[in-house]
Structure 1
Amino acid sequence: MAKIQPFAALRPKVDVASKVAARPYDVLSSDEAKAEASGNPHSFYHVSKSEIDLPAGTDIHSPEVYAKAAENLKALRENGTLIQENQPCYYIYKLIMHGRSQVGLVCVSSVDDYNNDIIKKHEFTRPEKEQDRINHITATRAQTGNVFLAYNDVPSINSIIDSWQEHHSPVYDFVAEDGITHTIWVMNEPGTVQEITKLFASEVPCTYIADGHHRAASAALVHNSLQSEASAWFLTTIFPASQLAILDYNRVVKDLNGHSKEEFLSALEYDFTIEAVGHSPKKPAMLHEFGMYLDKTWYHLVAREGTYTTDPIGVLDVTILQNNVLDKLLGIKDPRTDKRIDFVGGIRGLEALIKRVDSGEMQVAFALYPVTIQQLFDISDSGNVMPPKSTWFEPKLRDGLLTHVV
């Protein structure tokens, strides 16, 4: 069963929370972070992307960057921008995007659960990305990045969280520059805190990493060296599955691997039915449907029977596309390393695919139907991992609002 605990968060003063809040460190470049933090000394980018305060061209993995992050975090604490809670609490984090809301519980989860597969994974991690987070946590003695977890709904937990929102005022409530609303409540009543902890321990057999595999892995490795009580737990926000939406994660490819357009379309017909649908974007409406944009025309593709299996990995549309198009026809064996392919998150819309192709940068684009949360759970339960770039979650939690000090 899932072990979670309340924690005494390091968090902003109320009047500067919206200025502190920063997008996750790994969704934007150093230049983008520098632009967003310009003129804002409160921005958490000074901690999460501290290279913005160092000379241009500084290696983002150099010791100076991690030292600067620690220096900047210390300064934010000393000048009163960030304060530490005086008791362990749970926090309720509500996000609203395009009228749809999702509500998660911010807590710390057990490193032992991570190591013992009570916290289930669906993605391989890369050592160099783990080391980056290890260095950042070790230098700052803080987990600044949240691990996004999901679990199968438990009505009694949902009821407590709903009731707290109804009867208490939030500590933060603001709309970020991208239009997403961020609202946070502090759950500090001891009896309620204890009840939440007990319910997770008795009613939630496991949780699933939705986003943040590298943050979770690095937290576990840091604990191996620190061996402190605080480092035995890592920062998580846990959402009930019914509230989550996974967006599509689409593909663009530089060339047709030597095929003419006519040869490529003909070869596709072996594994797909194909229909040209004109100039308007074709968004897949169900599993095993694909949109393809080539030479200013959208095509509707449907995978034929026999092109996929029914096992948790084989049934995925990312697998169908990889096996029957990217590998078989376009010669892309490993999409993680091949420079001819790129990935476009669904948050950018299908217009982003059109732009990449019409510019001449890419020759063909593929729009996929999103992976479902149940498919993610099935793969995690089976012990398998998803193909790379399979899921895109939105909206994303903001860094700096709730930090776990280790």
Structure 2
Amino acid sequence: MVAIYPFTALRPAPEESAYVPSVPYDVVSAEEAAACIADNPKSFLRVIRSDAELPDTPCYDEAVYELARAVFIEMQEKGLFEKDAEESYSVYQVEDEGEIFTGLVACVGVSEYQNRVVRRHELTRYDKEEDRTRHIDAVNANTGQVFLLYRDPGGIQKYIEDAVAGEPIAETTTVSGSIHRIYPIREPAMIREITTLFANVPSLYIADGHHRAKSAVNVAERRKERGDLTEEATRFMGVLFAHDSVLIHGYSRLMKDLNGMTAEEFLAQLTTVFTVREIFSPDLHASTIPPMAGDSDRYCMHLYLAGRFYELSHPIDPATDAIGRLDVSLLQEKVLSPLLGIHDPRGDARLDFMGGAAPIADLIARVDSGEYAAAILMQPIDVNDICAIADEDGIMPPKSTWFEPKLLSGLVVHLLD
């Protein structure tokens, strides 16, 4: 069963909460972060992407982490952050295009990750894992949260939603228009009740933040070896959402070339694998195209090639396992590897990805510009399938899911001392 913990949070000062929070470290390049910092010198990107202010310093140089620590201390000394006087949970609420998402900010023990109570479905890359390990250790804090899902046995989500009262302690609006609000839960009776409610939850599932979670485990292990492990360092910060309260989008694949084939030759090769049907007049404001057949026992994806859309479908063998039933698995097995020669989707420079709710018109523009030769729109994966794969210790193909809401960094910080 799941054990969660309140903690003494570090938060932006009320008058600074509109300026300090930033996008997570891994969604912007150093150059993009530098531009954001130039526009807003109070941005938390100065801490989580300190390399943006060291353009001539090699990646992962010790100076990057030393600067992150120095800037973090400076921001606290200048009053951009304030530390709570007592332990609390927090409600993290996101309002985006009429949707309201409500999660709980809490700490989870690294032991829960190690004993697989916290379940994952992606592999971590060593370089990214090592980077965040050194960063967490240097700044002595979880500066970003792990996006976690739970299956609500009944009553938890409503209890958290009902805990929203009064004015938020922090609020900020992103450039895309989403509003992020934080409401602290400080009453001891409510803290005890929430802790008890989650004790009835068997597992948590990482939706986003696999590297942040694994890096927090690494920090705890290294500090234990050094003899300076604190209780707070045995925990990492997460935001917990009921699994059926979030949105999942597909991750489109964009191919830079067709491996020497013409569009006609590539399409002819696809007809040997798929049932191919042309799609006319799709909704270009939508982010995906609904399957024409609507059958749950068929793979389905949509190809944009030479100005036209095609639906590619293929029957699913009932004996196929949960990972093999994913559209992205068939795409890799039947198209990317054998036809296009893209054997490593994590590292092949000929393959790019576009996730989230971006309109189909954006994808068309990138192909029509000549930057890419073709694109394939993927259907979103059902959250229950994701949980089932994680329960079986399965590893999904890279870039399989795009979860919303997208959370900001710097609204709540968990200190490790």
Shorter-chain TM-score tier: over 0.9
Deviation per CA, 1:299-337: give whole Å up to 9, x if none. Answer: 12222455x853110111111211111122212112112
CA distance in 2, matches of 1:337, 1:160: 43
CA 1:15 to 1:154, structure 2 compared with 1: closer, same or farther past 3 Å? farther
CA 1:253 to 1:279, structure 2 compared with 1: closer, same or farther past 3 Å? farther
CA contact (8 A) 1:273 1:304 kept: no
Which residue is equivalent to 1:319? Answer: 329
CA 1:51 to 1:310, structure 2 compared with 1: closer, same or farther past 3 Å? same
TM-score (norm 1): 0.95
SS in 2 for 1:22: coil
Q: 2:198 aligns with which of 197, 200, 225?
A: 200
CA contact (8 A) 1:18 1:176 kept: no
Deviation per CA, 1:7-30: give whole Å up to 9, x if none. Answer: 011110111101001000000111
CA 1:322 to 1:93, structure 2 compared with 1: closer, same or farther past 3 Å? same
CA distance in 2, matches of 1:305, 1:222: 43
Which residue is equivalent to 1:174? Answer: 172
Which residue is equivalent to 1:301? Answer: 312
CA distance in 2, matches of 1:121, 1:289: 25
SS in 2 for 1:109: strand
Equivalences for residues 353-372 of structure 1 within 5 A? 353-372=363-382
Which residue is equivalent to 2:289? Answer: 284
Q: 1:332 aligns with which of 317, 325, 342?
A: 342
Which residue is equivalent to 1:261? Answer: 263
User: Which letter maps to 1:220?
Assistant: V
Which residue is equivalent to 1:49? Answer: 49
CA 1:326 to 1:309, structure 2 compared with 1: closer, same or farther past 3 Å? farther
RMSD after superposition:
1.6
Deviation per CA, 1:227-278: give whole Å up to 9, x if none. Answer: 2211110010000012111111010112222222222212211221112224
CA distance in 2, matches of 1:156, 1:262: 55
User: Which letter maps to 1:200?
Assistant: F
CA-CA distance at 1:79 after TM superposition: 1.1
SS in 1 for 2:239: strand
Equivalences for residues 187-266 of structure 1 within 5 A? 187-201=185-199, 203-226=200-223, 227-266=229-268
CA 1:39 to 1:266, structure 2 compared with 1: closer, same or farther past 3 Å? closer
User: Which letter maps to 1:187?
Assistant: I
CA contact (8 A) 1:314 1:320 kept: yes
CA-CA distance at 1:157 after TM superposition: 1.6
CA distance in 2, matches of 1:66, 1:278: 52
CA-CA distance at 1:347 after TM superposition: 3.2
Equivalences for residues 369-380 of structure 1 within 5 A? 369-380=379-390
Identity over aligned pairs, percent: 40
CA contact (8 A) 2:119 2:204 kept: yes
CA distance in 2, matches of 1:337, 1:30: 19
CA-CA distance at 1:357 after TM superposition: 1.5
5+ residue gaps, structure 1: none
CA-CA distance at 1:93 after TM superposition: 0.3
User: Which letter maps to 1:359?
Assistant: S
CA distance in 2, matches of 1:290, 1:52: 38
SS in 2 for 1:96: strand
Q: Which moved more, 1:107-116 or 1:354-363?
A: 354-363
CA distance in 2, matches of 1:18, 1:92: 17
CA distance in 2, matches of 1:309, 1:96: 41
TM-score (norm 2): 0.93
CA distance in 1, matches of 2:316, 2:389: 21
- How many pairs were matched up? 402
CA-CA distance at 1:218 after TM superposition: 0.6
CA distance in 2, matches of 1:244, 1:405: 27
Equivalences for residues 86-165 of structure 1 within 5 A? 86-165=85-164
Deviant stretches of 4+, over 6 Å = none
CA distance in 1, matches of 2:53, 2:255: 36
CA-CA distance at 1:355 after TM superposition: 2.1
CA contact (8 A) 1:279 1:297 kept: no
CA-CA distance at 1:279 after TM superposition: 6.3
Which residue is equivalent to 1:403? Answer: 413
CA contact (8 A) 2:246 2:405 kept: no
- The answer to whether the aligner puts 1:82 opposite 2:81 as a matched pair is yes
Which residue is equivalent to 2:37? Answer: 37
Which residue is equivalent to 1:382? Answer: 392
CA contact (8 A) 2:142 2:236 kept: yes
CA distance in 2, matches of 1:163, 1:103: 10
Q: 2:404 aligns with which of 381, 391, 394?
A: 394
User: Which letter maps to 2:65?
Assistant: Y
